[in-house]
Amino acid sequence: MNVCEEACSLMCGERQKDYGPPAEDWGRAAKMISGLLAKKLKADLTASDVGKLMVCIKLSRESNKHTRDNLVDVCGYALGVSQIEGDE
């Protein structure tokens, strides 16, 4: 199974069962982060923003040390953003 297939399997299976759909899970995170950064932000973050930020975190980790998990997660977060943005 390649990293994209693994990510899809996780995002549509285990992760969704554990955390809910990305729009809900990341939506909650967006509200928390927006509250935390309220004095610095011009507008509240969205669920899609959170997914994109998670891609940045995983790419940062990958630039430090390669792991399959980093690449699987990048694909999974990209899939979640695509679902939220209605690209799927």
For 18-77, what is each residue's pLDDT tens digit?
A: 999 999 999 999 999 999 999 999 999 999 999 999 999 999 999 999 999 999 999 999
Domain boundaries, the chain: 3-85
Per-residue H/E/C for the chain: CCHHHHHHHHHCCHHHHHHCCHHHHHHHHHHHHHHHCCCCCCCCCCHHHHHHHHHHHHHHHHHHCCCHHHHHHHHHHHHHHHHHHCCC
State yes or no: pLDDT of 13 exceeds 90. no
> Over the Cα atoms of the chain, what is R_g?
13
Q: How far apart are CA 9 and CA 16, in angstroms?
A: 10
